Amino acid sequence: MWIYEKKLEYPVRVSSTNPRLAKVIITQYGGPDGELAASLRYLTQRYSMPTPQAKAVLTDIGTEELAHMEIVATLVYNLIRNATVEQIKAAGLDPYYVDHDKSVYFVNAEGVPWTAAYIQSKGDPIADLHENMAAEQKARATYEYLINVSDDPDVTDTLRFLRQREVVHFQRFGETLNLVHDWLSSKKVFY
Amino acid sequence: MAEDANKSQESPKTEISGGMNGWELARAYIIPQRYQKIFSPQEGLRKGTIFQELVRPYKPDKGVRFAEGLERSDYDE
Amino acid sequence: MELEFAAIELNLFLDTHPEDRCALADFEKVSQELMKAKTEFEARYGPLMNFGFGRNQGDTWRWIESPWPWEINFKGFELYGEE
pLDDT tens column, A116-152:
999 999 999 999 999 999 999 999 999 999 999 999 9
Could you tell me the maximum CA-CA distance found in chain B, to the nearest angstrom? Answer: 57
Could you tell me the maximum CA-CA distance found in chain C, to the nearest angstrom? Answer: 45
Which secondary structure element, helix H or strand E, spans residue A147, and what is its range? helix A125-149
Question: What pLDDT, on the 0 to 100 scale, is given for residue B59?
Answer: 87
Question: For an interface test with A, which of C4, C12, C50 has the most A Cβ atoms less than 10 Å from its Cβ?
Answer: C12
Domain ranges of chain A: 19-180
Could you tell me the maximum CA-CA distance found in chain A, to the nearest angstrom? Answer: 65
Do A166 and A139 touch, CB atoms closer than 8 A? yes
Do A21 and A155 touch, CB atoms closer than 8 A? yes
> C2 and B44 in contact by Cβ < 8 A?
yes
* Distance in Å, alpha carbon of B50 to nearest chain A alpha carbon: 10
Rounded to the nearest angstrom, the gap between the alpha carbon of residue A134 and the centroid of all alpha carbons in its chain is: 13
- How far apart are the C-alpha atoms of A152 and A97, rounded to whole Å? 22
Where is pLDDT greater, at A21 or C75?
A21
Contacts of C66 (CB under 8 A, 6+ apart): none
- How far apart are the C-alpha atoms of A190 and A12, rounded to whole Å? 48
> B45 and C30 in contact by Cβ < 8 A?
no
User: Using the 8-state DSSP alphabet, how is residue C77 labeled?
Assistant: S
Instruction: Share the mean pLDDT of chain C.
Output: 90
Q: Is A132 left (phi over 0), alpha (psi -120 to 50) or beta?
A: alpha
Do A154 and A11 touch, CB atoms closer than 8 A? no
Where is pLDDT greater, at C79 or C1?
C1
* Distance in Å, alpha carbon of C16 to nearest chain B alpha carbon: 9
Q: Does B69 touch chain A (CB under 8 A)?
A: yes
Task: Kindly list the residues of chain C whose beta carbon comes within 8 Å of any beta carbon in chain B.
Answer: 1-3, 5-6, 9-10, 13, 16-17, 20, 22-23, 26, 30, 80
Q: Is residue B4 helix, strand or coil?
A: strand
pLDDT 10s digits, C16-51? 999 999 999 999 999 999 999 999 999 999 999 999
> C17 and B44 in contact by Cβ < 8 A?
no
- B60 prior amide bond cis, ω within 30: no
Report chain C residues whose CB lies below 8 A from the CB of B32.
16-17
Question: What pLDDT, on the 0 to 100 scale, is given for residue B75?
Answer: 45
Question: What pLDDT, on the 0 to 100 scale, is given for residue B61?
Answer: 66
Question: For an interface test with C, which of A1, A6, A51, A136 has the most C Cβ atoms less than 10 Å from its Cβ?
Answer: A6
How many CB atoms are located within 10 Å of the residue A99 CB? 12
Question: Residue A182 class from Cβ within 10 Å (0-12 exposed, 13-18 middle, 19+ buried)?
Answer: middle
* Distance in Å, alpha carbon of B63 to nearest chain C alpha carbon: 31
> A6 and C68 in contact by Cβ < 8 A?
yes
> B49 and A167 in contact by Cβ < 8 A?
yes
Residues 2-31 of B with CB under 8 A from C: none
Question: What pLDDT, on the 0 to 100 scale, is given for residue A190?
Answer: 58
CA-nearest residue to A164 within chain B is B48
> A56 and C8 in contact by Cβ < 8 A?
no
- How far apart are the C-alpha atoms of A29 and A38, rounded to whole Å? 10
Ranges in chain A, pLDDT < 70:
188-191
The superfamily (CATH) of domain A19-180 is Ferritin, core subunit, four-helix bundle (1.20.1260.10)
Size of interface A-C (CB pairs under 8 A): 79
> B35 and C22 in contact by Cβ < 8 A?
yes
Q: Does B38 touch chain A (CB under 8 A)?
A: no
Q: Is residue B51 helix, strand or coil?
A: strand
Residue A14: closest CA among A28, A25, A27, A6: A25
Ranges in chain B, pLDDT < 70:
1-21, 61-77
Do A84 and C47 touch, CB atoms closer than 8 A? no
> B30 and A148 in contact by Cβ < 8 A?
no
Q: ipTM > 0.95? A: no
